[in-house]
Structure 1
Amino acid sequence: MIKKFVYSQKVAPYVFVLPFILIFSIFWLYPLINSFVMSFQDRMLGQDPKWIGEANYSKLLTDKVFLISIKNSVVYMLGTLVLLIPFPMLFAVMINSKLMMGREFFKSSFFLPALTSVAVAGTIFRLTFGEMDGSLMNSFLGLLGIEPIKFLKDGNWSMAALLILACWRWTGVNMLYYLSGLKSIDNEYYEAASIDGASAWQKFRMITMPLLKPTTVYVTTISVYAGLAMFTESLMMFNGNKSPQNIGLTIVGYLYRQGIEQNKLGYAAAVGIILLVIAMVINLTQLKFSGMFKKEED
């Protein structure tokens, strides 16, 4: 009876999707609902929760440190979009070219940093951009006759260091996404364009870029989330969650500070909900303007 039930054509599809539904419900839906409820509470470990309504959200609107963390995360996210979309696309086109030699070597070289632990990478970059005269960057500046710079104590320089770290780690990953997209483009388009006398730039602008649009939308979507959710890189770069004047504080870093370091779980939950809303609004907006919600015409 049980075997007949499981192998039923009506029941079988639900049996196959059941593991996903359970995992989604336990590890995503339940924590999300619980966090949303917690955001309306004054909740601390070891104490009974107290319902305080929208007080946490009202406090966030006037919390200067929280607003600084939003600014830092948004600037970092925009920086990654500017750097980690066009350059990986160009590198992918270059490596995919028939004239490219040693393409496997370059693909491996670009992807290798992604395999490096973020803790190790953050530590290396902290030493590279250290304020001492003997740090790598200051040693290089010294050769050019430039005075040492305290990179991690200046807002602009520290953001530049974080973006350099992001480019070092993720350029190869995004490049592989674009290489996969290039493999799906029929070579006949380029042959026809060559017959019509199109230049390399015209082929790239009129064929490659439009046909890579789905890949670009995907890379943009994950880059928005990754940019807003960045935390460990900043934690390791500044050797803790307390950067000078909060120049390296991100939204997730502020959530960690409130929830883990100060045991304000309700307030931290409100920060997490705000982060979710910001990420969803930005991604849904870019999906809307990219035309991904439009129905295909028959």
Structure 2
Amino acid sequence: MIKKFVYSQKVAPYIFVLPFVIIFLIFWLFPLANSFVMSFQERMLGQDPKWIGTANYTKLLTDKVFLKSITNSVVYMVGTLILLIPFPMLFACLINSKLMWGREFFKSSFFLPALTSVAVAGTIFRLIFGEMESSLMNSILSLFGIGPFKYLKDQNLSMAALLTLACWRWTGVNMLYYLSGLKSIDSEYYEAASIDGASAWQKFRAITMPLLKPTTIYVLTISIYAGLAMFTESLMMFNGNNSPKNIGLTIVGYLYRQGIEKNKLGYAATVGIVLLVVAMTINLTQLKLSGTFKKEED
């Protein structure tokens, strides 16, 4: 009876998806629901929770440090979108070109930084962008009579340093996504365009970019979340979660500060819920605008 039940065509699909459902409920839905409840409480380790209603949310709206952290995260996210979508697409097209030599070498070289530990990468870039004249960036700029600069004590320069680290780590990953997308494009489209006398730019604009739209939407979606959720890079770059005037503080960094450093778990949960809402709102908006939810016409 049990064997017949398990091998039933109606029951089998549910059995296969059951592990995912269980993991989803235990490690995502339950913590999310618990965090939502905590956001309405004043909760600290070792103390009984106290229900305070929407006081955490009201406080958050006037919290200047939180507003600073969300501004930093949004600027970082926008910067990664500007740099980590068009350039990986361009590099993928170049590597996919028939005239390209050593493509496997370049693919491996671009992807290698993604295998590096974030802690190691952050430490290395902290030394590269150090304020001493002997640091790598100041040494290079000194050749042109520029500098030295205190990169990690300036709002704009520190953001440029974080974006440089992001580009170094993730350009190769996004490039591989686009290479996978290029492999799915039929070469007959390009052959037909060549017969019609289309230039390389016209092929890229009329064939490559439209047919890479699903890949671009995917890269855009994960980049939005990754940009808003960035924390470890900033933590290692500034050698801690306390950057000068909070120029490197992110939303997740502020959550860590409130929940772990100050033991204000209820307030930290509020920050997490707001982060989720912001990320979901931006992603759902861009998915809607890109036509992802549009039903196909018969």
Q: CA deviation at 1:5?
A: 1.8
Paired residue for 1:278?
Answer: 278
Paired residue for 1:44?
Answer: 44
Q: How does 1:1-298 map to 2 (within 5 A)?
A: 1-298=1-298
Q: Secondary structure at the match of 2:292?
A: coil
Q: Secondary structure at the match of 2:46?
A: coil
Q: Secondary structure at the match of 1:45?
A: coil
Q: Secondary structure at the match of 1:192?
A: helix
Q: CA deviation at 1:9?
A: 1.9
Distance in 1 between residues matched to 2:228 and 2:214, nearest whole Å: 22
- Residues 163-185 of structure 1 show CA distances to partners (whole Å, capped at 9, x for unaligned) of 00000000000000000000000
Q: CA deviation at 1:147?
A: 2.5
Letter of the 1:138 counterpart: N
Q: CA deviation at 1:82?
A: 0.1
Structure 2 unmatched ranges of 5 or more = none
Structure 1 unmatched ranges of 5 or more = none
Letter of the 1:103 counterpart: R
Q: Secondary structure at the match of 1:168?
A: helix
Q: Secondary structure at the match of 1:236?
A: helix
- The 4+ residue runs of structure 1 with deviation greater than 2 A are none
Distance in 2 between residues matched to 1:291 and 1:84, nearest whole Å: 22
* TM score, norm. by length of structure 2: 0.99
Letter of the 1:79 counterpart: G
Q: CA deviation at 1:75?
A: 0.1
Q: CA deviation at 1:128?
A: 0.3
> How many aligned positions are there?
298
Distance in 2 between residues matched to 1:87 and 1:142, nearest whole Å: 28
Q: CA deviation at 1:40?
A: 0.4
Letter of the 2:278 counterpart: I
Q: CA deviation at 1:240?
A: 0.1
* Structure 1 stretch displaced more, 9-18 or 130-139: 9-18
> Percent identity at matched positions?
86
Letter of the 2:43 counterpart: R
Q: CA RMSD in A?
A: 0.5
Letter of the 1:202 counterpart: Q
Distance in 2 between residues matched to 1:132 and 1:159, nearest whole Å: 18
Distance in 2 between residues matched to 1:211 and 1:136, nearest whole Å: 41
Q: CA deviation at 1:57?
A: 0.3
* TM score, norm. by length of structure 1: 0.99
Distance in 2 between residues matched to 1:10 and 1:203, nearest whole Å: 48
Distance in 2 between residues matched to 1:96 and 1:204, nearest whole Å: 12
Distance in 1 between residues matched to 2:147 and 2:90, nearest whole Å: 35
Letter of the 1:81 counterpart: L
Letter of the 1:76 counterpart: Y
Letter of the 1:179 counterpart: L
